[in-house]
A and B are shown apart, each in its own frame.
Chain A
Amino acid sequence: MALSGIQIYKLLPQTNCKDCGFPTCLAFAMKLAAKQVELSACPHVSEEAKAQLAESAAPPVRLITLKSNGHEIKVGNEVVLFRHEKTFYNKPGLFIRVRDDQPADAVKAAVAAVDAYTVGYVGMDLGLDGFAVESVSGDAATFAAAIGAVRTVSGRPLVLISKDAQVMAAGLGAVDGEQPLIYGADGDNWEAMADLAKQHKAPLAVIGSSLDELAELTEKIKGKGIEDMVLDPGGRDLSTSLVQATQIRRLSIKKNFRPLGYPIIAFPCDAGDPARESVLAAQAIAKYAGFVVLGDFSPEKVYPLLVLRENIYTDPQKPIQVQPGLYEINDPKPESPLLVTTNFSITYFSVANEVEATGIPTWLMVADAEGMSVLTAWAAGKFDAERIAKSVKTFNVEDKVSQKRIVLPGHVAVLSGELEEELPGWEVKVGPREAVDLPAFMKQVL
């Protein structure tokens, strides 16, 4: 059970010695509670306290790492059921499935396309994480060959799919030294699979048709010394998969139920129909999957999913910001007036709404003030003449407006002199302090 800051504080020395790098023991305790710092930062904590704190510090969903030559993906380590409660930390891995009964050339072509795929989204390059190679042939050599074919064109991490331990052994042999995910162990083969997992230090996916069965299996496997597991609870339709994933996450977060404290693997690729597959994959991304295995690759399928994954795993604790830039309101012409404000979403929306309501064509320049409101940003030095002038240049405002006149929010009238210096040839006007007064100001003054 997670301890609160005060509860942890009571276990600390309470000397405020600052050796941990925090000003007080309570500050450190609160960081510990938020899992933003390691207990080892405190050199004075007692053994007894350490033992008590370790229990609460262990992540309720185990961190699982897949490794290949030069690539690594981590999933799990999640601490909440809903992203607003803190954040979701480790994005689920998106894997494309290939089968060993496909001709090697086809495998290579498909894998190469995926390997090369990147798509730009708000300044980031998004791509897929790896491949799930499935043994359809049931033949060890064929499986190993298919894996070999994948490896000739991509070094990304793998999920190896076969329930036959011999086939799996051959597959693992083909990527010796890597840490792929072994999929998987069920009630029949778990001992052999556990041996393989142990031998290759690879995480093991556990397959069960119910949570009862899954929990029993993971305990047995854990008894063989395997710590790193991934769960497949079996649901393949939207309703069952949502319920199962929620129950597993609830058990780990709320009950700290260790037998199911592992990431989940989902198989939207089994949907049969690409439209349904996308919907299943989207659900898996939002609702707790650690690994998502997709069928055939196509950019129009993958791009929305990659974006969704970014969105859901955005830290909700950060202030809501709008993208800095030059916004067009009511179809402005070059001679239309230019206002400036900050990129705190509420600030932006209140200004934009008032301007929109006037019907006056207007340019609204949103400067990057790190998501702060006008006054806060000004106080913190994030909205000053220099930054505003820089925005004018970055957004090529001079190419778009013909009238070199900029209207400052009234709260920062004090910046007008400096801004005139920063923007030679520009006229600086001071607007009203409150957005509600913008319509009157725009009608009378601009």
Chain B
Amino acid sequence: MAVEIPKDTWTGEVHAVTLGAIEADGGTRTKTVTVGGEKTLPFMHFEGETPNAPVVAVEIKDRRPDDWSPLLEEAWGSAMDDPAAWAKAAEEAGADLIQLSLSLTGSDGNPTTPQAAVDAVKAVLGATGLPLLVFGPGQADLDNELLVPVAEATKGERLVLGLCEDKNYRTIAATAMANDHLVIARTAMDVNLAKQLNILISDMGLPLERILMDPTTGALGYGIEYGYSVMERLRMAALQGDAMTQLPMIVTIGIETWKTKEGKVGDGVPEAWGDWKERAINWETLTAVTLIESAADIVVLRHPESVKRVKAAVTDLMTV
């Protein structure tokens, strides 16, 4: 019996967004990474094109973090003391992108200074040729204070600056616009909020081709289903032609999974959770792959073994 396979015909497609700029284009990257461009739901190769595979960014910090899981400390070792070394190690572990998170304070306990932020970013740019995403510490005022000088000092690099949120998007979007960078629009697990922030940022004049959206996700067991469905809905809206949802999606899975007890802690947890390391890596990997299958274009991870597994899964998924 010949079964006629129903194919969805989509009128819209996701913007292709290129991260990083090579020298010829005003930057210093040795390679760029393009995400997005999908013309169909994730990996439905039989009905539409997925020109760019989802990619993995590895999260590093500007200094050794105080609150990361011992499993991560074990994996990265002394590289964590130096952002440049850490970036190199991440690249070796298979990262497609480096995501640098600036700390709230320096190791002396004082707030991170703009100069320190710029130095860290420059050090990482010097150590790796991969495109870079830079996130502020997550407090509106300090984010603005640090990201503006970083953006200015790296003009033309097509860095990705994070994070624009609905109450604090103007400054970051403006500096990205002025210095040829990209931004991430982050909203709290809601299709409409995501769309609204994209509209607000694009209303400022930043082209949609320079915006990534982060609809936010919880880790497995901590609200992954909300992120999962929001991403499915956003991607369907994009393919149906809704311009304000046609942006590639990024999710910060590392920070979410490694703050869960399942990832972070080895002692004093139920025996039924099994081996700590394997469980923790499974936690990060399954969160990532599940969200990639729901439409994530960039997943930010922390553990090198998860990077390996997620990349293997992507290779498999991209096989036509």
Contact = CB atoms under 8 A, between A and B. Distances in A.
In the complex they form, do A and B come into direct contact, defined as C-beta atoms under 8 angstroms apart? yes
B285 interface: yes
A121 B273 CA distance: 11
Contact of B278 (A239, A260, A300): A300
Nearest to B5: A247
B272 A303 contact: yes
With most chain B CB atoms within 10 A of its CB, the pick from A251, A287, A308, A316 is A308
A262 to B, nearest CB: 14
Contacts of B188: 346, 349
Contacts of A276: 309, 312-313, 316
Contacts of B140: 357
Interface string A229-242: 00000000111001
Contact of A316 (B3, B224, B229, B283): B229
- Chain B binding surface, main DSSP class: helix
A93 B59 CA distance: 36
B290 A282 contact: yes
A377 interface: no
B229 A211 contact: no
A283 interface: yes
Contact of B316 (A239, A259, A302, A314): A239
B320 A212 contact: no
B110 interface: no
Chain B, interface size category, equals: 35 or more
A299 B225 contact: no
Contacts of A117: 272
Chain A, interface size category, equals: 35 or more
A109 to B, nearest CB: 17
Interface in B241-282: 262, 270-276, 278-279, 282
Interface in A52-108: 82-84
Interface string A285-303: 0110000000000111111
A9 B278 CA distance: 55
Nearest to A356: B139
Interface in A335-368: 345-346, 349, 357, 359
Interface of B: 1-3, 5-6, 41, 43-46, 139-140, 188-189, 220-221, 223-226, 228-229, 232-233, 236, 262, 270-276, 278-279, 282-283, 285-286, 289-290, 293-294, 309, 312-313, 316-320
Interface of A: 82-84, 117-121, 211-212, 215-216, 219, 237-239, 242-243, 246-247, 250-251, 254-255, 257, 259-260, 275-276, 278-279, 282-283, 286-287, 298-305, 307-308, 311-312, 314, 316, 320, 345-346, 349, 357, 359
